[in-house]
């Protein structure tokens, strides 16, 4: 069994923002399939074949609680967990795949490492468009994704999907 986790925050305020790239990616690769909220997992899940897709409802900084709940229930190994999240240190249009690396200050990743371990695979999707250079992440991560950036991100999503 594989667990693919998209990090984001629930609520309309956060929908289609740069910080919700994890949720946006899951909706893209599952063709916006019906995720259903499961209280025991502290999030919404969608199951397809041998893969579980999770959108934690714990808010970003407590994502590890939801990941741990699903991991334990389905007895998923750390090596079968993939975390998808935004990264303001990577240029828009790029992504990086890592295992066993630090959180880089991402609070959602900090929470996952605290509840599980750094042995999960992380796919960091870049969100720093040229117009954001020189700005602190908190100045733009909660902005709505521009239409031109959505086109770029969909190309990245396709590339990432091929590597899953």
Q: Are 93 and 134 in contact (CB under 8 A)?
A: no
- Sequence-distant (≥ 6) Cβ neighbours of residue 137 within 8 angstroms: 88
Known catalytic membership, residue 106: no
Domains in the chain, ordered, with CATH?
Answer: 2-162 (3.40.50.1470)
The helices-and-strands tally (H runs, E runs) of the chain is: 4, 7
Residue 33 has pLDDT above 80, yes or no: no
Q: Is the pTM of this model over 0.85?
A: yes
Residue 103 has pLDDT above 90, yes or no: no
Chain-wide mean pLDDT for the chain? 94
Q: How far, in Å, are 1, 50, 159 from residue 21 at the CA level?
A: 23, 23, 15
Q: How far, in Å, are 69, 73, 89 from residue 86 at the CA level?
A: 22, 27, 9
Averaged pLDDT, 5-18: 94
Q: Annotated catalytic residue: which of 19, 57, 85, 106? A: 19
């Amino acid at each position: 069994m594989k667990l693919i986790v998209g990090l984001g925050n629930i609520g309309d305020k956060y929908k289609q923002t740069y910080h919700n790239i994890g949720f946006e990616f899951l909706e893209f690769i599952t063709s916006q399939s019906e995720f259903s909220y499961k209280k025991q997992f502290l999030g919404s899940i969608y199951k397809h074949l041998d893969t579980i897709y999770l959108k934690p409802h714990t808010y970003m900084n407590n994502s590890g609680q939801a990941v741990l709940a699903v991991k334990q229930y389905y007895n998923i190994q750390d090596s079968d967990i993939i975390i998808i999240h935004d990264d303001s240190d990577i240029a828009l249009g790029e992504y990086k795949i890592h295992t066993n690396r630090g959180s880089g200050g991402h609070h959602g990743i900090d929470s996952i490492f605290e509840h599980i371990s750094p042995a999960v695979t992380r796919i960091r999707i870049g969100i720093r468009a040229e117009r954001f250079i020189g700005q602190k992440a908190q100045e733009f991560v909660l902005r709505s994704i521009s239409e031109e950036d959505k086109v770029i991100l969909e190309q990245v999503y396709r590339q990432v999907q091929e590597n899953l």
